[in-house]
Chains A and B, each alone.
Chain A
Amino acid sequence: MKRVSTRAGLMVALATAGLALAACGGGVNSGSSSSAAAPAESSAAAPASSEAAAPADCGAWSVAMHAWVGYTASAQVLSDVARERLGCDITQTTLDEGATTYDAMEAGTIDVVIEDWGGGRWQEWIDRGAVVELGPGGNIGLIGMFVPQWMCDEYPDITDGANLNEYADLFKTAESGDKGAWLEGPPGYTTIGEKLIEANGLNFKAIYTGSEAALIEALNKGIENKTPVIAYGWEPWYYMANADVCRVNFPANDWSDAAEASGLTDYPELPLIKLASSKLMDSGSPFATLVTNFVWTNEDQNSIAADIEGGMSPEEAAKKWIDAHPEIVAQWLEGTGAS
């Protein structure tokens, strides 16, 4: 026993000495301890330059990062403008969209969602005063059902949803039995697939793919091997931009809330919404003004997303766009006091 305690004592003594040594300041940390926030994930990267003087005290805020590339483009541009022009301390936090994110906003760990497809499912959080809806960010989302281009070439009338039943047999798989397989989108995404099938009397069975990866693999197989497949897709989506697919159309839509959709009609064009925490909006920070002003188009977002897909880092791609569009950035900064 005695020897054990000497050993433990030694370890404690050393650890204390080490930490004391470590805590006594100076060293590599002292160089970068200014307010220039290092990117959240890789602190090894060079700190962002903060030459522009902060007009008002911006404060520290957290931007939600969702997995799709279009989102990354928007969030990166927003973060970089806030850091460099307003001197904000921005943390980027990766997490799932939907309830997970709204909960985090209520808990105070997330302040901005720059693009939400949820179509109002955050209402519960707004009612409780945790989340504020800031209106559209300019990007228009469009969901739909897609088949590989070769199918549209071979069966030209397949693009009309009314003719789908004629081809249902083509889509049969071991998964769907005697019906056609209808591949649905990732878990968090708005979907009315089951309603479309039921209301239009389609001889299809909805299969929930469970992840974006599963959806892409299925579409890729359909395109490369020329196997029939019909799958959920959306724009802006980097995969859509390059994939050889075409859309199956249903009559123009009559709904905005998925819960009230009749199922007879197609998905509507969905203005994507910006959300912020009430904490941010009540703070009077110039960042709140910036987020409120943030508006751009699908082309803007896609140009950055394409650069990221092409191998640029999000930071580089965002910088390229910011440098090329000073007038848009200037509009966003109106009322923040930034020069």
Chain B
Amino acid sequence: MELRAVLAKRWVQALLVLIFWVMLATVLKGVQTQELSTQKNSWFTTILRDFASSIRGNRTESPIFVYFFNPIRVGIQSFIETIMGVIAVPAKGDLIPLLGWFGALVLIGFIVYAASTLRMALFSMAMLAICGMLGMWLLTMETLAMTIGSVVLSLVIALPLGVWAGLNDRVMKVLRPWLDLAQVLPTLVYLAPLALFFLIGIASATIATMIYAIPICIRITAHAIKSLREGPIEAARSAGSTTRQILFKVQLPMAKSTIILAVNQTMLAALSFVVIAALIGAPGLGKPVVEALTIRNVGDGVVAGLAVVFLAIMIDRSTSAAVNRDKSGYAAAEAVKVRRRIGLGVFAVVTLFAIYLSRFVLWFAVWPEQLDFGERVAAVANSLSEWITANLELLTVAGSEGFTVWFLNPLQDLLANSPWWLTLIAISLLALILAGRTIGILTFCLLILVMATGLWNDTMVTLAMTLIATGVVVLIGIVLGVWAGRSARVDRVLRPFLDAGQTMPAFVYLVPVLALFGPTRFAAIVLGVVYAAPVVIRLVADGIRKVPKETVEAAVSAGSTNLQVITKVQLPTSRRSILLGVNQGLIFVLAVVVIGGFVGAGGLGYLVIVGQSKPELAGKGLAAGIAIVLLGIILDRIAQGRPQEARPRTR
């Protein structure tokens, strides 16, 4: 082949860039690395620090606080506290909230029944009872109240915006970049700025949850309105209906079940946020999970984490059941309707009686001690974690050292310990070659901004961890994903683990991971892998399953071996899903690698954390947040899997 033809190939170009990069980096190791001591500020972080301190100083007097931020804070706080007063937090001097546990339990059951079916109501009550038996009743109710409150506020903002964006493409165009940005934003990042404006507490936590949940809701709602069939709308229009009438009589009713799905997703998003929100003062189940890290009590964290999982299952199932009922409900026969009406009536009476009991009989008011198994579960979790630590330690220590020396350190040398301009140019060139000119230029500009924050070195340390962890995640994802995609049995075995892995807050396994690997970057990588693997496995398995049966059969009958079928047919055909998996893996990993700051991984995550507690480093924390966002955008753009809609969310 002619030399020019070879050089025109993209992978050859990328390889050449890589070779030059490695060679130059080896020669220039340790030169102009822009390393900045953790305790020192750059000019940019100094500006941010002074800015943060001036905001602190102004919070009580400046008009923008007195007339804008403070009223919002007080309003949201009292709204959430009102809901909490009903099911979760006793008034001063009281023993129980407005409703004792039994009343709250049956009332929630009734609401689920009214929205879906009796079976689902019983199931929901059972899930909540399990949370109670874990000794977490009041905390579960605090979390539920927070979730309901922030979801209501999110829906008030997101539903109208979503409908508007669904009706009007121009609105969607304005919103889309923000929705995209919100999706790549690791949640740890916006906590510090929020706390600066709204202080630590319920209000900040609620707003943080809303920022997280609103984009999802807008996306699904807009999609619901947009994807309606044109027929009925045209018919209504030709019958002389106004736009307003069409919206309320045709479009909204038709899109209703998808919009309920948006509510379902919004609730799950809000719930998956409880632990992170606890870092800025959200009450509820997140608190013991975060505290478990300080007092090293794995058991308490696991118990609270389990309660989060059960609450998530309950909310997911009951709102999905509401969607299904809504889809099928209209065709019900008259006799069924009557029976249901009687059922509702009976349940209503039972509920009133339960509320009465829960107010006047102690056993029904305060969760009874005989039914509290939390400590026992915690003890089991503790001994399990001790067993793992004691028996797997030798294996893990050797493995993690080797991995760090052979993979992580060389990559970090290349990215962080070589001159900044070399890394900057090399990454931009690779982006140019792999993702096109626009993204190449974008990458270059964003990297310049990273440089301007003064945290170049820390950003590259974080990038090295993220890339390595993503590599591992994708490897695991493809192997297990292909396996699950080809065999229904494997899929059935894996599924519960994937579900639990996705809902269990990453904080819960922080302490066991620490015990196994010590305060290292490897610990952070393990966290990222555990958290991101389920999503990638799912996406790959979905892709494999969608490969047409005929294609596979044709290959088999042509005499291909299993391995050939996988590598020549199934993987190439599901390339899109795998690309999407890589993209999602990157974003999920980045979100959790940042949490690695808690386990000695350093980098940007540590700066975010230290910025929260040391005023003199507040500027560095904010700057690190900005750098993480920039890094997130760069990674997302370079590894962009084309299908934009309906991407799963990061935490």
Q: How far is the CA of A7 from the CA of B351 in the complex (A)?
A: 15
A98 touches B (CB below 8 Å): yes
Inside 8 A of B510's CB, which chain A residues have their CB?
A: 213
A31 touches B (CB below 8 Å): yes
Q: How far is the CA of A215 from the CA of B99 in the complex (A)?
A: 43
User: How many contacting A-B pairs (Cβ < 8 A)?
Assistant: 217
Q: Within the complex, which residue of B99, B351, B366, B409 is in contact with A174, where a contact is CB–CB below 8 Å?
A: B409
Q: With a 10 A CB-CB cut-off, give which of A1, A11, A102, A214 has the most chain B CB atoms.
A: A214
User: Beyond A26-B359, A173-B401, is A95–B365 a contact (Cβ under 8 Å)?
Assistant: no
- The A1-42 residues at the B interface (CB cut-off 8 A) are 1, 3, 7, 10-11, 14-15, 17-19, 21-23, 26-29, 31-38, 42
Q: How far is the CA of A104 from the CA of B115 in the complex (A)?
A: 41
Q: How far is the CA of A36 from the CA of B92 in the complex (A)?
A: 10
Inside 8 A of B515's CB, which chain A residues have their CB?
A: 217
A97 engages B613 (CB within 8 Å) = yes
B52 and chain A: residue at smallest CB distance: A99
A121 touches B (CB below 8 Å): yes
A210 touches B (CB below 8 Å): yes
B90 engages A38 (CB within 8 Å) = yes
A14 engages B199 (CB within 8 Å) = no
Inside 8 A of B296's CB, which chain A residues have their CB?
A: 212-213, 216-217
Least Cβ–Cβ distance between A23 and chain B, in angstroms = 7
A18 engages B352 (CB within 8 Å) = yes
- The B185-201 residues at the A interface (CB cut-off 8 A) are 195, 199-201
Inside 8 A of B602's CB, which chain A residues have their CB?
A: 207-208, 210
User: Beyond A10-B344, A22-B355, A218-B519, is A31–B95 a contact (Cβ under 8 Å)?
Assistant: yes
Q: How far is the CA of A98 from the CA of B329 in the complex (A)?
A: 56
User: Beyond A22-B355, A106-B60, A194-B39, is A28–B365 a contact (Cβ under 8 Å)?
Assistant: yes
A29 engages B95 (CB within 8 Å) = yes
Q: How many of chain B's residues have a CB under 8 angstroms from any CB in A?
A: 84
B294 and chain A: residue at smallest CB distance: A67
Contact with A along B216-246 (1 / 0, CB 8 A): 0000000000000000000000000000000
A98 engages B615 (CB within 8 Å) = yes
B53 touches A (CB below 8 Å): yes
Inside 8 A of B199's CB, which chain A residues have their CB?
A: 103-104, 107, 109
B281 and chain A: residue at smallest CB distance: A95
Q: How far is the CA of A303 from the CA of B296 in the complex (A)?
A: 21
Inside 8 A of B538's CB, which chain A residues have their CB?
A: none
B114 engages A210 (CB within 8 Å) = no
Q: Main secondary structure on chain B at its contact with chain A?
A: helix
Contact with A along B291-332 (1 / 0, CB 8 A): 101111000000000000000000000000000000001000
Inside 8 A of A251's CB, which chain B residues have their CB?
A: none
A99 engages B609 (CB within 8 Å) = no
B599 engages A99 (CB within 8 Å) = no
B291 engages A27 (CB within 8 Å) = no
- The B589-645 residues at the A interface (CB cut-off 8 A) are 596-602, 606, 609-610, 612-616, 618
B597 and chain A: residue at smallest CB distance: A210
B93 engages A32 (CB within 8 Å) = yes
A29 engages B519 (CB within 8 Å) = no
User: Beyond A18-B351, A187-B609, A187-B614, is A177–B294 a contact (Cβ under 8 Å)?
Assistant: no
- The B87-138 residues at the A interface (CB cut-off 8 A) are 90, 92-96, 98-100, 103, 107, 110-111, 114-115, 138
- The A162-187 residues at the B interface (CB cut-off 8 A) are 173-175, 177, 183, 187
Q: How many of chain A's residues have a CB under 8 angstroms from any CB in B?
A: 74
Q: Within the complex, which residue of B99, B201, B409 is in contact with A109, where a contact is CB–CB below 8 Å?
A: B201
A207 engages B519 (CB within 8 Å) = yes
Q: Within the complex, which residue of A10, A29, A212, A215 is in contact with B348, where a contact is CB–CB below 8 Å?
A: A10
B365 and chain A: residue at smallest CB distance: A28
User: Beyond A26-B360, A96-B613, is A36–B93 a contact (Cβ under 8 Å)?
Assistant: yes
B348 engages A14 (CB within 8 Å) = yes
- The A50-92 residues at the B interface (CB cut-off 8 A) are 60, 67-68, 89
B405 touches A (CB below 8 Å): yes
Inside 8 A of B258's CB, which chain A residues have their CB?
A: none
Q: How far is the CA of A309 from the CA of B295 in the complex (A)?
A: 11
Least Cβ–Cβ distance between A205 and chain B, in angstroms = 10
A210 engages B600 (CB within 8 Å) = yes
Q: How far is the CA of A98 from the CA of B616 in the complex (A)?
A: 11
A211 touches B (CB below 8 Å): yes
Q: How far is the CA of A151 from the CA of B355 in the complex (A)?
A: 64
B107 and chain A: residue at smallest CB distance: A18
Inside 8 A of B115's CB, which chain A residues have their CB?
A: 7
A67 and chain B: residue at smallest CB distance: B294
Q: Within the complex, which residue of B360, B401, B606, B615 is in contact with A99, where a contact is CB–CB below 8 Å?
A: B615
Least Cβ–Cβ distance between A288 and chain B, in angstroms = 21
Contact with A along B255-296 (1 / 0, CB 8 A): 000000000000000000000000001000001000101111
Contact with A along B67-97 (1 / 0, CB 8 A): 0000000000000000000100010111110
A38 engages B111 (CB within 8 Å) = no
B614 engages A94 (CB within 8 Å) = no
Q: Within the complex, which residue of B57, B107, B361, B615 is in contact with A121, where a contact is CB–CB below 8 Å?
A: B615
Inside 8 A of A252's CB, which chain B residues have their CB?
A: none
Q: Within the complex, which residue of A100, A128, A175 is in contact with B520, where a contact is CB–CB below 8 Å?
A: A175
B613 engages A187 (CB within 8 Å) = yes
A334 touches B (CB below 8 Å): no
A14 engages B110 (CB within 8 Å) = yes
Least Cβ–Cβ distance between B385 and chain A, in angstroms = 12
Inside 8 A of A213's CB, which chain B residues have their CB?
A: 293-296, 510-511, 514
B110 engages A28 (CB within 8 Å) = no
Q: Within the complex, which residue of B103, B400, B519, B609 is in contact with A22, where a contact is CB–CB below 8 Å?
A: B103
A21 engages B409 (CB within 8 Å) = no
Least Cβ–Cβ distance between A156 and chain B, in angstroms = 27
Inside 8 A of A135's CB, which chain B residues have their CB?
A: none
A43 engages B38 (CB within 8 Å) = no
B39 engages A67 (CB within 8 Å) = no
A28 engages B200 (CB within 8 Å) = no
B651 touches A (CB below 8 Å): no
Contact with A along B348-386 (1 / 0, CB 8 A): 100110011001111001110000000000000000000
B200 engages A95 (CB within 8 Å) = yes
Inside 8 A of A99's CB, which chain B residues have their CB?
A: 612-615, 618
A22 engages B360 (CB within 8 Å) = no
Q: Within the complex, which residue of A31, A100, A174 is in contact with B613, where a contact is CB–CB below 8 Å?
A: A100
B598 engages A211 (CB within 8 Å) = yes
A25 and chain B: residue at smallest CB distance: B359
Inside 8 A of B562's CB, which chain A residues have their CB?
A: none
3 smallest beta-carbon distances between A and B, as pairs = A188-B613, A174-B404, A98-B613
Show 15 A/B contacts (Cβ-Cβ < 8 Å), sorted by A: A15-B107, A21-B359, A26-B359, A28-B100, A34-B93, A37-B93, A38-B90, A42-B138, A67-B294, A174-B404, A188-B610, A211-B294, A211-B599, A212-B293, A213-B294
Interface residues of B (CB under 8 A from A): 37-39, 53, 56-57, 59-60, 86, 90, 92-96, 98-100, 103, 107, 110-111, 114-115, 138, 195, 199-201, 253, 281, 287, 291, 293-296, 329, 337, 344, 348, 351-352, 355-356, 359-362, 365-367, 393, 400-401, 404-405, 408-409, 510-511, 514-515, 518-522, 596-602, 606, 609-610, 612-616, 618
Q: A35-B93, A43-B90, A209-B600 are in contact. List 10 more A-B contacts (CB 8 A).
A: A14-B348, A18-B355, A21-B355, A28-B100, A98-B613, A175-B520, A194-B38, A195-B39, A211-B599, A214-B600
